[in-house]
Chains A and B, each alone.
Chain A
Amino acid sequence: QVRLQESGPGLVKPSATLSLTCSVSDASMNNFYWSWIRQSPGKGLEWIGYFYYTGTTNYNPSLNSRVTLSLDTSKSLFSLRLTSVTAADTAVYFCARGLYSAATGHFYATPGVWGQGILVTVSS
């Protein structure tokens, strides 16, 4: 049973860089899409981007110039780096593995397994 666990600082200063790590247990990282999604307090869900195991990345244009995702399969780690943060970046950040369907045999970009989430507050 795959498990994902986010870690990182809960408080980041404005204009600083937010860095989070997702530890992946009991599963190979190959073949899957790996995403970060965030949810602002009391708000909806925003997809940040994904890293496909081949090295392809795809970022939400709303964050494109500020975000970098990386995957370290040797350490089973998936990372997010978001630069120049403001209060608007305050949110719960989730890492997620893309869905695999046994019924179709397909690997999907849509998140299938999620971490529990980590609250990051941007404040001085």
Chain B
Amino acid sequence: IQMTQSPSSLSASVGDRVTITCRASQGISNDLAWYQQKPGKAPKIMLYDVSRLESGVPSRFSGSGSGTEFTLTISSLQPEDFATYYCQHYYTTPLTFGGGTKVEIK
């Protein structure tokens, strides 16, 4: 299953609403997670089952979608949110990740 993210990068300001899209090449039910990765660090899981927030993740992060199209939304971008975000399905093996979306400071 191929995971395609868009855009590959975006520039935004603190306080902006940001939306990232992830498309699966076939239906993956709700078996989708989002990860945040900062330079030199391991990815950190943010959401799973499309919209469940992992413990400790701020509520400004939200996820939606079903089947093949999904979105990650950051309602009000904070300085610590500048990072690369990856979607990943776990519907079947092999688990696969999207190509990533780099969120940069405008």
| Chain A interface residues (CB < 8 Å from chain B) | 35, 44-47, 50, 58, 60-62, 94, 96, 99, 101-104, 108-112, 114-117
Contacts and interface: CB of A to CB of B under 8 A. Distances in A.
B96 interface: yes
Contacts of B98: 44
Contact of B100 (A35, A44, A108): A44
Contact of B55 (A45, A47, A61, A102): A102
Contacts of B88: 45, 110
23 contacts: A35-B95, A44-B86, A44-B99, A45-B86, A45-B88, A45-B100, A47-B94, A58-B93, A58-B94, A96-B42, A99-B45, A102-B55, A103-B52, A104-B52, A108-B90, A110-B33, A110-B45, A110-B48, A110-B88, A111-B45, A114-B42, A115-B42, A117-B42
A45 B88 CA distance: 9
Interface string B40-83: 01111100110010110000000000000000000000000000
Mostly, the A contact residues are strand
Contacts of A111: 43, 45
Given A44-B97, A45-B43, A47-B94, A108 B86 contact: no
